[in-house]
C-alpha cells in the first residue's frame, strides 16, 4: 500500500538520511527505532511533506505522492511535541479535529473510549497533565479519516496501565485497515505494537523486517528486540 524509497535529506554536507526505504501494508504497524540522532523524526517529517527531501519517492496504492497537499490527503500526523491551545476546552480541540473528515461514528466512539477523552471534554486544555494532553492529541490524529497515521514518539507520556489502553487504540485502528508508522523510543513498546521494524542509525537503514527476521540477521534466536537492537548496532560499529 505505502512505498517509501530512497529518502535522502541533507543539511549542508551532512546526510541526515541516506537513501532510506521501507514499505507498509494496510493494517500494518511499522515501528521506527534507533539511537538518538538516528534520523527517525526527520524521516517522518520527510514522509508527510513537512521537511524537504533531497530525494525521495513516496507512493500510495501505486500513485506517486508529490507535494504536501497530495500527502495531506493520505497522512494524519502527530508530532513529538504537541501544544494544545490552553484557553480552549478539550471539546473545542476535538470538534476542530473532527471537521476534517472524521472516521465512521462507531470507530470514533471506540477511540474516544479507549483513550479516555470523554471525561476530559469540558476541561480547559491548559490544566491537563502531560499524559492527558497526549491522549487528546492522539485521539485527534487517530479519529481523522486517513489511510496512513504517522506518529512521532506517541507513547512516552504514559504509565504502564495507560499505555495498555493507548496501544489498544492503535491496534484497533490497524485492525480496521489503517496503516500506522510510528517512532518508538522504548523497545518493549515497539515489540508489543509493531508488525515490522525499521532500525536506523546515523541516517541509514541498519535493518528492516519483523522480529523473527531481525533475530536471524543478528544471529540472536529467541532474543527480545532490545538484544537484537544492540547486536545489530554493535555489528555495524565493528564494520565501520
Q: Are 68 and 106 in contact (CB under 8 A)?
A: no
pLDDT attached to residue 96: 93
pLDDT attached to residue 13: 87
Q: What is the DSSP letter of 240?
A: -
Q: Cell 480541540 sits at which residue?
A: 93
Q: For the CA atoms of 161, 165, 166, 172, what is the dihedral angle to 10 degrees?
A: 160
pLDDT attached to residue 100: 86
Mean pLDDT for the stretch of residues 111-130: 94
pLDDT attached to residue 82: 82
Q: Which CATH class is domain 2-239?
A: alpha beta
Give the domain ranges of the chain.
2-239
Q: For the CA atoms of 133, 134, 139, 140, what is the dihedral angle to 10 degrees?
A: 70
b/e burial code for range 128-145 (CB count within 10 A of at least 16 → b): beebbbbbbbbbbbbbbe
pLDDT band of residue 47 (cuts 50, 70, 90) is: very high
- Answer yes or no: is pLDDT of 240 > 80: no
Nearest CA to 181 out of 47, 30, 50, 59 is that of: 30
Mean pLDDT for the stretch of residues 100-119: 94
Q: Cell 530512497 sits at which residue?
A: 6
Q: Are 168 and 114 in contact (CB under 8 A)?
A: yes
Mean pLDDT for the stretch of residues 99-117: 94
- Answer yes or no: is pLDDT of 196 > 80: yes
pLDDT tens for 142-188 read 999 999 999 999 998 898 889 999 999 999 999 999 999 999 999 99
Amino acid at each position: 500500500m505505502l512505498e517509501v524509497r530512497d529518502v535522502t535529506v541533507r543539511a549542508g554536507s551532512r546526510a541526515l538520511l541516506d537513501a532510506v526505504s521501507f514499505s507498509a501494508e494496510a493494517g500494518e504497524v511499522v515501528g521506527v527505532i534507533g539511537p538518538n540522532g538516528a534520523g527517525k523524526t526527520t524521516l517522518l517529517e520527510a514522509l508527510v511533506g513537512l521537511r524537504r527531501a533531497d530525494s525521495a519517492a513516496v507512493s500510495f496504492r501505486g500513485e506517486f505522492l508529490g507535494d504536501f497537499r497530495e500527502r495531506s490527503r493520505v497522512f494524519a500526523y502527530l508530532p513529538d511535541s504537541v501544544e494544545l491551545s490552553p484557553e480552549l476546552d478539550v471539546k473545542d480541540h476535538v470538534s476542530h479535529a473532527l471537521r476534517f473528515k472524521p472516521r465512521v461514528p462507531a470507530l470514533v466512539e471506540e477511540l474516544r473510549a479507549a483513550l479516555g477523552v470523554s471525561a476530559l471534554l469540558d476541561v480547559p486544555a491548559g490544566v491537563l497533565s502531560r499524559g492527558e494532553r497526549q491522549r487528546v492529541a492522539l485521539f485527534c490524529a487517530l479519529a481523522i479519516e486517513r489511510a496512513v497515521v504517522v506518529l512521532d514518539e506517541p507513547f512516552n507520556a504514559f504509565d504502564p496501565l495507560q499505555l495498555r489502553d493507548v496501544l489498544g487504540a492503535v491496534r484497533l485502528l490497524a485492525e480496521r485497515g489503517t496503516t500506522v508508522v510510528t517512532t518508538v523510543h522504548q523497545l518493549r513498546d515497539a515489540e508489543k505494537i509493531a508488525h515490522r521494524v525499521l532500525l536506523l542509525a546515523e541516517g541509514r537503514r541498519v535493518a528492516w523486517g519483523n522480529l523473527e527476521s531481525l533475530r536471524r540477521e543478528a544471529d540472536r534466536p529467541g532474543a527480545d528486540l532490545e538484544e537484537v537492537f544492540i547486536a545489530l548496532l554493535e555489528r555495524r560499529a565493528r564494520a565501520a
